[in-house]
Amino acid sequence: MSFINKIFKIKENNSTISKEILGGIITFFSICYVLFLNPEIIANDEVNKASLYSGTVICAIIATIIMMVVANKPLAMAPAMGLNSVIAITVCSNLGFSFSESLALTLLSAVIFLILTLTKLRIKILDAMPSYLVKAIGIGIGLFIAMVGLKNSTLIVGSDSTLITLGDFTNPTTLTALISLMIIIILTILHIKGSIMITLILTLITSLILNATIGDGINYNGIFSLPEMPYFSGFINGFTTFNSKDIINIIIALFSITFLAMFSSLGSIIITADDLNLNNQKEMNKVMLADSLGLFISSFCGTSPTCILAETATGVKEGARTGLANLITIILMILALFLSPLLSLIGVEVTASILIMIGVSSLADIKNIDFTNLKEAIPSFFAILFMPLTYSIINGIAFATITLTIINLVTYNKSKKFKENIHPLILVLSIFFIAYYCLMLI
């Protein structure tokens, strides 16, 4: 045990081996749905779902190992929701690139991403943001994670008349999520140790019972299956056909992938920063380096771009503070490579209540935002509201940054230096965000 403590510096990070193990398990189950959903989104005529599942899991394993070794932080990495849609819809469908070419574009984006990290531009962008806006972004991400839980569990569903509405409580998925939410609320209020793990186990049992009794039954397809070979050579094939593509489309694609990857991870970093001592610039540098290296892996493994998943905050909430939690998550991911039929029994509703409670805990920081001051209130409002309502971390950060810039420009004080009115990086960032949305209209 002392050997493990020495490697991962568990005591130095005010943690215990049991907390790390529990945090790693919770993280795995919170991100498990990504492993199955990612192939569904990006599968096409060029590559099948089974190959993409293998590529997604292997990519997540390697990228999370990199985070463990480089940064020693409990931040799991995998192909991210949102980024996979950009590949499937923007890059492949709208811009006309093949899936192989999208992998080549991801590799080029990874090079740009690494340069931005090594030049510390990413940290400078974070430092340029006012503290209240950083807090607002953290809250927005928490509510975004809660919305993911609400949507996945069908507690909230789409509605033609009211946009969203309550789900159908006769649906076993919705009913399971509701029961799970009640369980975790009770356990949390009573300060029961291991409340998240207990909720996971009880919810899984509830899900199986309800599906067997009032649902369509349990879709059991066995326990073990051999993984298919990932599309390792995809990015190489992509580069061979690049010269026939419009340079403007290549620039748009590179801009979209790099921009979204950078801010998706930035959001996940912000929400865990206080717990993981990421306010220390040395620690932040390590995390951002690991994050940028992970983007290379997705291209090599033939899947969509990776980032630090926002759902990894569930493990941090449970007390994980070091890379040991990542090691546990990695072991479970390796098992997932061979046990996909068994894991497919675990519906998204099983972890929904945990994601919802992340949203609850994120609201604690709202007291640090002065909503009586409109200069703070307006950008914070957009950061907090736009992330869950547009189902996008990027949109929340973008609209918060743009409104902050507009406010600072219209209240410009000539007696102050330019940097005291508005940070140049925030101004440049706003221009890039506006350019990004303009490019999406092309």
- pLDDT single digits (tens) 317-351: 889 999 999 999 999 999 999 988 877 777 778 88
Confidence band for 54, pLDDT divided at 50, 70 and 90:
very high
Residue 1 pLDDT more than 80? no
pLDDT at residue number 442: 63
Residue 107 pLDDT more than 70? yes
pLDDT at residue number 84: 86
Residues 6+ apart with CB under 8 A from 276: 73, 74, 75, 283, 287, 316, 321
DSSP-based three-state secondary structure for 167: coil
Confidence band for 418, pLDDT divided at 50, 70 and 90:
confident
Percentage above 70 pLDDT, the chain: 99
pLDDT at residue number 294: 93
**Cα 407 from chain centre:** 29
Residue type, 30: S
Q: Which two tokens stand for residue 34?
A: 């990504």
The model's pTM is: 0.85
Confidence band for 243, pLDDT divided at 50, 70 and 90:
low
Gap between the Cα atoms of 263 and 199, Å rounded: 31
Is the pLDDT higher at 63 or at 83? 63
Least confidently predicted of 26-30, 229-233, 242-246, 255-259: 242-246
pLDDT at residue number 324: 96
pLDDT at residue number 345: 74
**Cα 138 from chain centre:** 13
Query: Which has the closest alpha carbon to 354: 197, 209, 249?
Result: 197
Residue whose pair of structure tokens reads 């949203």 in the numeric block: 359
Mean pLDDT of 230-242: 85
Gap between the Cα atoms of 283 and 13, Å rounded: 12
pLDDT at residue number 244: 64
Is the pLDDT higher at 100 or at 41? 100
Gap between the Cα atoms of 324 and 318, Å rounded: 14
Q: Which two tokens stand for residue 316?
A: 């941090």
pLDDT at residue number 403: 96
Confidence band for 245, pLDDT divided at 50, 70 and 90:
low
Residue 419 pLDDT more than 80? no
Query: Which has the closest alpha carbon to 353: 235, 199, 217?
Result: 199
Percentage above 90 pLDDT, the chain: 46
DSSP 88-150: IIIIIIIS---HHHHHHHHHHHHHHHHHHHHTTHHHHHHHHS-HHHHHHHHHHHHHHHHHHHH
**Cα 294 from chain centre:** 13
Residues 6+ apart with CB under 8 A from 87: 42, 99, 102, 106, 257, 304, 305
Mean pLDDT of 410-417: 81
- pLDDT single digits (tens) 147-170: 988 998 899 999 989 989 999 999
Mean pLDDT of 236-244: 81
Measured from the Cβ of residue 50, the count of other Cβ atoms closer than 10 Å reads 17
Residue 297 pLDDT more than 70? yes
Mean pLDDT of 34-61: 88
Residue 175 pLDDT more than 90? yes
What's the mean per-residue pLDDT of the chain? 89
- pLDDT single digits (tens) 270-294: 889 888 988 888 999 999 999 999 9
Residue type, 310: A
Mean pLDDT of 413-429: 82
